Amino acid sequence: MTKEQVDDDEMPAEVDLSRSIPNPYFVAYHGPKVIRVLEPDLAELFPDNESVNAALRKVSARRLAAPRKKTR
């Protein structure tokens, strides 16, 4: 009789990260301005970093191009 070989290198289909903790060294290395957390409804609209950055660049370009109102 031979036992079935199990592939230990295979990644499971789902990984439960609900009990994970953030890397304490990330902010120390990169600084606090690198990470922004999106609310779940916005995260559904922007599937990746590039789409978020593109949208923010469009908004900031419009804001910079718009004439400022004078305040008293």
Tallying the residues shown for the chain, one arrives at 72
CA dist., res. 38 & res. 45, Å (int): 10
4-61 confidence digits (pLDDT tens): 655 566 777 888 888 888 888 887 888 777 777 889 999 999 988 899 999 999 999 9
HSE-up of 56 (CA within 13 Å, CB side)? Answer: 10
60-69 confidence digits (pLDDT tens): 999 888 777 7
pLDDT reported for residue 6: 59
> Which 8-state DSSP code applies to residue 52?
H
**Shortest CA distance to 22 belongs to which of 12, 13, 14, 32?**
32
Record the pTM. 0.47
CA dist., res. 69 & res. 63, Å (int): 12
